[in-house]
Structure 1
Amino acid sequence: MTTSIFPQIMAMFAQLLPAFILVFSFYGFSRALAAKLMGDHTAQHEGFLTLNPAAHIDIFGMLITLAIFVVVNTLISGGLAFPIIIAILILIGARWRKIVPINEEMFRHHRLGILATTLAGPIGSFFLTFLSCVAIRFFPIQAVSAPVGKTVTQLLGTITELSAFWGVLELIPFPPFDGGRLLQVVLPRSKEWIIEWFEIYGVFVFLALIILPGVSTIFIGGLHTLATIVKLIALKIAFIGA
């Protein structure tokens, strides 16, 4: 059994590694770019305004987290396995993602800056979803061998899947997700205790949402549905006129 699973694990690892690197590099770059446009050059000065993976990822930590992902995903079956594992790995693998440094005091317009830098990551992820769909459309699959064509299309499909789901996931409106920063925009100062509460207990709220029977089905299923909608929209736009 181990012998039969090992090639599957290695194949998945080889496919997911470049996808993870591209998605999270693109995500960090998008946030750094938004911060610069809003007047904060901190991320640019510290080398985050680049698609170079070394600026956004601790490669060793990512390899360990990715290895866990591949093994668990291979052993778990079911349509929701992918989003569930991705969500859990956010908690155990948070340290391998380098956080883009943002100084909100440098924003020309404080609330607008928070809004822009919060949405930049998810929007960047959705744009990458679209670019992957465009690549799928125009990849000259007839001009390459069948194994190469299959490998490339599977990789592009993985990038599409991961970028769409990651963008949706980070829009969850409470810490530790980027969407939690939106609370700073919509809540009055008298309600700042809500933000402080989520900063302490948000992880536990998230765990409850993905673990509790019934609740987890609705929550994870909802995230998966939203990610699917993003992918379908990207595909529809990419294949206009096809």
Structure 2
Amino acid sequence: MDFSGLFNFDWKSVPFRLIAFVIAFSLHEWAHAYVAWKLGDDTAKREGRLTVNPLPHIDPFGLILILFGPFGWARPVPVNPLNFRGNKRKGMVLVAAAGPFVNLVLALLFTVLYGFFMLSGSLTGLSDKAVYAIHVTLISSISINCGLVVFNLLPIPPLDGSKIFRFLAPPRWDGFFYKLELYGPWALLLLIFIPALQGVLYYPLYWLSSGVTYVANLILALFF
């Protein structure tokens, strides 16, 4: 899978990146809200975030970045772990992991769909514009969902990876993570806006894409 689309801007790709963004981010945030709700916290539900409707989830600046740059984000889902039934730290790990997990599933789904179209010849007879739209939408969806998995699993606050790492660690480490939260957003901004640092994510993206493609090929082999 070619991830150059994540790092290079192309005006023609904007509408298709928007479609991919809406699907990826809406389901990502819904997953956080859904798992929190299943664990006993209805904070997100009461604030209208337990939905796949993209409007409550969109952060304007994050939307601009994902459309015109390499990464972006949606509005964080509010979670109150004090409402969780059972182990609160485990609950936070599950809530944090839910978003990237859904993006991983979406990346696999779109990869299978892309392979199906390519192998079945379903696009034959469509206009060049229609083929281009389908092709770029699917590629954008795969790239953005893979990118969200890798990006969100970085152990940098306020990303999901930092919450997973924090609440898997012993409680005595909480002081360290609290201090890390003070500097995490600055480190995140450096990662987003310095091209040389963005390259650090290329290999994790490549490995994830290779794994997703391998699994997708196994699924497609059952039908072709």
Q: TM-score, normalised by structure 1?
A: 0.75
Name the counterpart of 2:82. Answer: 105
- 5+ long unaligned stretches in structure 2: 1-8
Aligned runs of 1:55-94 on 2, under 5 Å? 55-58=56-59, 60-61=60-61, 64-66=64-66, 68-69=68-69, 85-86=70-71, 90=72
Name the counterpart of 2:101. Answer: 123
Name the counterpart of 2:6. Answer: none
Name the counterpart of 2:141. Answer: 159
Deviation (angstroms), 1:230: 4.2
Q: 1:223 aligns with which of 170, 182, 204?
A: 204
Deviation (angstroms), 1:212: 9.6
RMSD of aligned Cα (Å): 2.7
Which amino acid in 1 is paired with 2:184? G
Structure 1's 31 and 19: CA in aligned 2 closer, same or farther, altered over 3 A?
same
- 5+ long unaligned stretches in structure 1: 1-7, 70-84
Q: Which has the higher helix share?
A: 1
Deviation (angstroms), 1:113: 0.9
Structure 1's 212 and 55: CA in aligned 2 closer, same or farther, altered over 3 A?
closer
SS across alignment from 1:142 = coil
Which amino acid in 1 is paired with 2:11? M
SS across alignment from 2:124 = helix
Separation of aligned partners in 2, 1:208 and 1:54: 28
Deviation (angstroms), 1:112: 2.1
Deviation (angstroms), 1:138: 3.9
Q: TM-score, normalised by structure 2?
A: 0.80
Aligned runs of 1:8-47 on 2, under 5 Å? 9-47=10-48
Separation of aligned partners in 2, 1:66 and 1:217: 14
Give the conservation status (yes or no) of the 8 Å contact 1:133–1:238: no
Per-residue deviation, residues 138-171 of structure 1 (Å, max 9, x unmatched): 4421253333123202211110111011111111
How many residues in Structure 1 have an aligned counterpart in Structure 2?
209
Separation of aligned partners in 2, 1:167 and 1:28: 13
Percentage of identical aligned residues: 26
